[in-house]
Structure 1
Amino acid sequence: MKCIRRAMSSIPQYDTRLLKVKPESIIFSKNGSLPQITDKETESNLQQASNELKLLNVIGFPTETVYGLGGSALSDQSVQSIYKAKNRPADNPLIVHISSIQQLKSKLLPQDYEIPPIYEKLIAKFWPGPLTILLPNDPKNSPISSYVTGNQDTFAVRMPQHPVARAIIAISDLPLAAPSANSSTKPSPTLAKHVMHDLQGKIPLVVDGGSCNIGVESTVVDGLSSPPMLLRPGGISLEEIKSVGGPEWENIQIYKKTGGVEENEKVKTPGMKYKHYSPNAKVILFINCGDGLKAMQDYIEKHKLNPQNIALLKSKQFKDLENISIIKNLGFKGEEISQNLFKYLREVDELEIEYIFVEGIDETNEGLAIMNRLNKAAVDVVYM
């Protein structure tokens, strides 16, 4: 594989434009490859975004999970620009985003190749949507840039549900490699202003389609292995995969849930190896700590912390701790917590506090993906 260094030189400087669009004005027919767009400004701005992609530049755009930083998955130049803008490690592969099954077959797969039947039910239910699957890749003959796959024999692909993302991909007719549109290791962006905060001046434009409604990245599954593997929990729960996938998915395994990844080990998909989702403040994760009052107070006393330098993100059981004035309620339901997690991590971090206390939740349904992100963000975990 060609060598990419994490810290790349000669990053272009841009006067980053913020282009607003109306997602509700974008309509895809059931079998249509191109959308109908009823709002003229939205149509114009989507065309501008498409033109940047055709020039092999990269852009920020909304998906239903988080905002993505997209560039042509078929171009080494575009994918290199993604790594440069994010300062992303070179051995952290990217997910390819498509607008249709037809685009997947015509642009990315060998002629007459059939998608493995094990994915059939999952695709029928969850595409378009926050599900990523692994498919075979021939590094010597693949049209996909080796920078996307790490020169490996598989690639990860999904069809986003967000009409803006899907429209940009369809109009440009380019499958897009697109990690989250943040500086590497920082919390993923769920609003356009998060992208501007991290990447302004590093990319030509950001398409503002409002808030992401899921708030964590896609679920990644590997149906090519036996048994199938859950490589990254995300917007589709493990329970949904088992229920919809049928008997072939009943014994799905969670990849290295209790173990780490070796430094030189190749990984097949993002989120499996490096530190992620971390604000500047230190995240302290509390698990099975009841109402949290004793656990938080003990931690403050043990480490001699100033409560005025602490923010609390609570959800189902935690109570407000006296002297902590910055308190955010993530929500009670899993989908609410998922939507709010990255947004509130960023929001309280901007207040320049030193610590963020976060209440952990059960690892069921949306909780598996939420706890996956929190465990990666945390510098310390407290159990009781």
Structure 2
Amino acid sequence: MSSSTQSTSGLFETKVLKVNPASIHFTPNNSTTYSELKIDDPETKLNLEKAAKILTTTSEVVGFPTETVYGLGAPSKSSDSVRSIYKAKNRPLDNPLITHISSLDQLYRKVLSNGASIPKQYESLIEKFWPGPLTILLPVPETPNGTESTISKLVTANQPTFAVRMPSHPVARALIAISDTPLAAPSANASTRPSPTQASHVLHDLKGKIPLILDGGSCDVGLESTVVDGLCDPPMLLRPGGVSLEDLKTYGGEFWSRVVVAKRTAGKLEPVRTPGMKYRHYSPIAKVYLFLQCGDGVEKLNQFIVQNELKGKRIALLRSKHFKSASEISASITVDRELGTTGDNIQRHLFAMLREVDELGVDVIFVEGVDNDHEGLAIMNRLQKAAYQTVRG
């Protein structure tokens, strides 16, 4: 490790470097390849090159923005680098990682270099949603005896498939292109905590544990990518995210019209096929209570406060479509935030608001649930994993 990136205590002096997404341009050959990457802003170009140098010359990791959440990247081929991801996050080793690419050309050159091809059943989804918040499962490429694999077993958790996506965020895609290195990149948070949608969230969780964070502003989508498995029939939605179940059925063709939703949590002894299927996720320090079908919230929340002796506790309320404001519900609720009334707004604000109210030092967080369709499927997936308890009307 470079001494310039470490403090005297042996921890990293984590640097946060600004990058301007609007200054990054890809030649629009088509949606999945580019002939030239152009960066107008010299500071952005320099900071991207600094991050790329860390990724290609050390075993250290870098935080960077994607359109979903901030990621913590390391070369997918390097077990030493990938091990640094698990160490920084304190992430269980049986929880696999998603590989991020900048183009299909890079995927074929760097990962599928043995001549393997992407199965045809993915073609319609790739055409519609790449670059974007969609992750697909592919077979791990076979390699001749004695040849190093193009994907570390730490990325796949020693399974026969790997997950891959092409992010649409200019900073993410440029970083991967400049380093010309597919990056394994889970969310850049401490394991089990809410995913980061701002550089400040990454710094809060990982300060001193990583050398560099690229600050490209807030993430647009706000929830992790959708993960699908088209290697089975019927195909499976393993993790809902930025591409909805309805979108898969609409744009995926006849094969994806049969897609089924996998169970939300893997069993204790069951292999984890994709991130988010095992372990507690997305949880603040304060206990989260998720309320479903509770009308305007007045009767149910007051009843819950009394029954659970929460008067005198600091309570935060995150509401969306139906709950009244905190002042109309109970004087016991001291922090009131509106997530939004549309699926897009709710998913964009969810993680940031969970973090915000948690950092105010509240004891409990009440969250209003949403309908379980369109963006709501992914929102409820995250809330049900974050919740200490679900309360039904």
Paired residues for 1:346-357 under 5 Å? 346-357=355-366
Aligned to 1:331: 340
Aligned to 2:278: 273
Paired residues for 1:42-53 under 5 Å? 42-53=44-55
Aligned to 2:224: 217
Q: Residue 111 of structure 1: CA displacement? A: 2.9
Change (3 A) 1:235 1:307: farther
Q: Distance in 2 between matches of 1:236 and 1:319?
A: 30
Aligned to 1:240: 247
Q: Distance in 2 between matches of 1:95 and 1:213?
A: 19
TM-score normalised to structure 1 length:
0.95
101, 110, 119: which one pairs with 2:104?
101
Change (3 A) 1:247 1:307: farther
Say if 2:289 is the partner of 1:287. no
Q: Is the 8 A contact 2:114 2:142 kept in 1?
A: no
Aligned to 1:309: 314
Say if 2:114 is the partner of 1:111. yes
Paired residues for 1:177-256 under 5 Å? 177-256=184-263
Aligned residue-pair number: 372
Give the 3-state SS of the residue equivalent to 1:123 in structure 2: helix
Gaps of 5+ in 1: 1-10
Aligned to 2:75: 72
Q: Distance in 2 between matches of 1:248 and 1:138?
A: 24
Q: Residue 306 of structure 1: CA displacement? A: 2.4
Aligned to 2:12: 14
Q: Is the 8 A contact 1:139 1:151 kept in 2?
A: no
Q: Which shows bigger deviation, 288-297 or 135-144? A: 135-144
Q: Residue 264 of structure 1: CA displacement? A: 1.9
Q: Is the 8 A contact 1:130 1:236 kept in 2?
A: yes
Q: Distance in 2 between matches of 1:327 and 1:296?
A: 14
Q: Which runs of 4+ in 1 moved over 2 A?
A: 138-142
Aligned to 2:330: 322
Q: Which shows bigger deviation, 107-116 or 23-32? A: 107-116
Aligned to 2:374: 365
Give the 3-state SS of the residue equivalent to 1:24 in structure 2: helix
Q: Residue 115 of structure 1: CA displacement? A: 0.7
Q: Residue 139 of structure 1: CA displacement? A: 6.8
CA RMSD of aligned residues (A): 1.3
TM-score normalised to structure 2 length:
0.93
Q: Residue 138 of structure 1: CA displacement? A: 4.4
- Note the alpha carbon deviations across 1:157-216, whole angstroms, 9 max, x for none: 000000000000000011000000000000000000000000010000000000000000
Give 2:330's aligned amino acid. E
Q: Distance in 2 between matches of 1:96 and 1:159?
A: 9
Q: Residue 112 of structure 1: CA displacement? A: 2.6
- Note the alpha carbon deviations across 1:254-293, whole angstroms, 9 max, x for none: 0014xx4221211111001111000000000000111111
- Note the alpha carbon deviations across 1:40-85, whole angstroms, 9 max, x for none: 0000000001011012310000000000000010101110000000
Percent of matched pairs sharing the same residue = 59
Paired residues for 1:24-63 under 5 Å? 24-31=22-29, 32-55=34-57, 56-63=59-66
Q: Distance in 1 between matches of 2:22 and 2:141?
A: 39
Q: Residue 325 of structure 1: CA displacement? A: 2.4
Give 1:29's aligned amino acid. T
Give 1:339's aligned amino acid. R
Paired residues for 1:167-182 under 5 Å? 167-182=174-189
Aligned to 2:4: none
Q: Residue 307 of structure 1: CA displacement? A: 5.5
Q: Distance in 2 between matches of 1:295 and 1:241?
A: 36
Say if 2:132 is the partner of 1:143. no
Q: Distance in 2 between matches of 1:173 and 1:12?
A: 30
Say if 2:345 is the partner of 1:343. no
Change (3 A) 1:147 1:309: same
Give the 3-state SS of the residue equivalent to 1:250 in structure 2: helix
118, 124, 127: which one pairs with 1:124?
127
Q: Residue 309 of structure 1: CA displacement? A: 0.8
Q: Residue 110 of structure 1: CA displacement? A: 3.9
Q: Distance in 2 between matches of 1:112 and 1:21?
A: 36
